[in-house]
Amino acid sequence: GAGVSQTPSNKVTEKGKYVELRCDPISGHTALYWYRQSLGQGPEFLIYFQGTGAADDSGLPNDRFFAVRPEGSVSTLKIQRTERGDSAVYLCASSGRGGPWSDTQYFGPGTRLTVL
């Protein structure tokens, strides 16, 4: 089947606006992860879902960031009152059994967010 997909591939927004980034994991994968990657850096963990619940959201930088996964498959990362510092590539990954150590994570192509 298809791999992890993310939409949109690119998003340009103005400072202060609200954005939603979508992730479609590999079918059947119970674990879903969001990362943020700045230019020239490795990915930075944001949040991890096991099923519908956020098992670990310790990486979310502040309360402007929020993510949901209401039916245990598709997830949406929501950013309120965007700031220029939010500009980055937002990566989504999924894995089979859950637990960041137990399974290989399969990454999507990312959404490049640019805040003007």
Partner 1 sequence: KNQVEQSPQSLIILEGKNCTLQCNYTVSPFSNLRWYKQDTGRGPVSLTIMTFSENTKSNGRYTATLDADTKQSSLHITASQLSDSASYICVVSVKNNAGNMLTFGGGTRLMVKP
Going by C-beta distance under 8 Å and a sequence separation of 6 or more, which residues neighbour residue 14?
A: 82, 115, 116
Q: Report the Cα 106 to chain-centroid distance in Å.
A: 13
The answer to whether 96 contacts partner 1 (rule: CB under 8 A) is: no
Q: Among 1, 58, 62, 70, which residue interacts with partner 1 (rule: CB under 8 A)?
A: 58
Contact in structure between 65 and 46 (CB atoms under 8 Å): yes
CA dihedral 31, 36, 41, 44 (to 10 degrees): -50
Per-residue x/- track, 34-53, partner 1 (CB under 8 A): -x----xxxxxx--x-----
Kindly tell me which of 40 and 70 has the beta carbon lying closer to partner 1: 40
Least distance from C-beta 69 to partner 1, angstroms? 16
Chain contacts with partner 1 (rule: CB under 8 A): 4, 35, 40-45, 48, 55-56, 58, 91, 93, 99-102, 104-110
